[in-house]
Chain A
Amino acid sequence: MGCGFAVSVASVSPMEPVIHLRGAVGLLGRFPALAGIDLTVDRGEIVLLQGPNGAGKSTLLRLCAGLLPVAAGTATVLGVDLVDDPTPVRVRVGLLAHATFLYDKLTVLDNVRFWTRAARADESDAARAMERLGVAGRLADVPVARLSTGQRRRAALAVLVARRPELWLLDEPHAGLDQEGRDVLDALVTEAAAAGATVLVASHELDRAAQLAGRHVTIAGGVITEDATHVP
């Protein structure tokens, strides 16, 4: 599994906060989501987002990815004003969501290549990311539809890693992964942060995620109720 592939990021922003939200409210369809989020995250931080189901964790991640319109407040991610135009930030973030973002009919290799080329990332990174995630070799030529949940998750992670995002947005990243996959994921997150990426992890697996994150943010009812720094 370990092939010497080091996680890197495409570019690193200056010292301004990577995420800067003030009273941010997103729009889910026609309805407001989140109740005014105040959050500042600096470069290289790994932040755990915790909270009950429906608290707004996934919505916050989607808002930071530039996928939700900002209905109220201010929101700047990677120096991009999301209220003005969120599109420039999208290619600079890597979102691992409940959905895998993969084409079922294409093979793992086709998928990773396609999304890597779309992001104008280095294709050699795609191959190395697949090796690192254990989806190279025999699995590379298997259509995604025939993969297990965990293998799809690994393939989705390979896409994320190969795109070399500056901001990793991980929604329940350990779900569906076996022990080995979880270890690889944790190592990748740590390496990404060391390389200058910023990581936001929404998780219910608090023991696991808490070991990664130096900061734990609790969200409930669409607002942040606790923000504490921990020593991982």
Chain B
Amino acid sequence: MFRDAGLIAAKDLRIEMRSKVTAGQVLPFALLLLILFAFGLDPDGPALEAATPGLFWVGVLFVTVLAVERAFAIEGGDGVRDALRLAGLEPGGIFLGKWCALALQLFVVEMVMLGGVVLLYGRTLNGIGLLLATSVAATCGIAAAGTLYGVLAAGLRVRETLLPFLLLPVLAPVLIAATRAFESALDGVPSDGWPWFNLLAVFALVYIGVGILTFGSLLEES
């Protein structure tokens, strides 16, 4: 299974290196969101400062929808989904590979967004350990749920509009927990944020487990 996961992840990342969709479209979109939030909430006022953690993770969720659609658009090419079924790859391995590639891309986008928060919002990154741990755990959970709902929506004609409806409500716990953890790191006591990190880790583990077990059935149905 891990061999198949490596194969799929390497393939997805190679396609990204060639097409540069994340670098050329998703990343600029993420930074644009940060700029628009600043326009809407007055960059020098207290509202933006207080809302930064929530805005950051709302931005990440919007970016996730784009990234998941992209991750499954590349499997929607010339009969490729049938080819994946014929390839003899373990479905759990395909899930892990796509999850891994998606998580890596999202994590890079989040790190650039964190840089944007420092530069555009003038924030100091206190509690850097909690910030990074939260980002890793939240990204793992977001990517796992995204991969699961991405394949579910992949075979549908209305996938572009349906995916956000399916995915965003499921990611509400991640939004809440990651926002609280970021609030603790940036403005409060970092130790208060670790229980939220634990919640994110449990969410990620549950969705990775469910993904490994159910991805095969979902791929057959898509």
Contact = CB atoms under 8 A, between A and B. Distances in A.
Given A67-B82, A91-B88, A103-B80, 4 more contacts: A101-B86, A105-B15, A114-B7, A118-B7
Contact of A100 (B4, B15, B74, B79): B79
Contacts of B89: 118
Interface residues of B, number: 19
A64 to B, nearest CB: 12
28 contacts: A67-B86, A90-B85, A90-B87, A91-B86, A91-B87, A97-B79, A98-B79, A99-B79, A99-B82, A100-B78, A100-B79, A101-B82, A101-B86, A103-B11, A103-B77, A103-B80, A104-B78, A105-B15, A105-B18, A105-B74, A106-B15, A106-B18, A110-B11, A114-B7, A115-B87, A118-B4, A120-B88, A143-B18
A65 interface: yes
B83 interface: yes
Nearest to B19: A105
Contacts of A118: 4, 7, 87-89
Contact of A99 (B4, B11, B78, B87): B78
A67 B83 CA distance: 10
Q: Which of B7, B78, B89 has the most CB of A within 10 A?
A: B78
B90 to A, nearest CB: 10
* Overall SS of chain B's interface: helix
Interface in A86-115: 90-91, 93, 95, 97-106, 110, 114-115
Interface in B1-26: 4, 7, 11, 14-15, 18-19
Interface of B: 4, 7, 11, 14-15, 18-19, 74, 77-80, 82-83, 85-89
A115 B82 contact: no
A90 B79 contact: no
> Chain A contact residues (Cβ within 8 angstroms of B): what range?
20 to 34
A101 B79 contact: yes
**4 A-B pairs closest in CB distance:** A99-B79, A91-B88, A101-B83, A118-B87
Contacts of B14: 106, 110
A117 interface: yes
Contacts of A98: 79
A119 interface: yes
A53 to B, nearest CB: 19
B81 to A, nearest CB: 9
Contacts of A67: 82, 85-86
B18 A115 contact: no
Contacts of A104: 77-78
Nearest to B77: A104
Contact of B77 (A102, A110, A119): A102
Nearest to A143: B18
A106 B86 CA distance: 19
Contacts of A119: 87-88
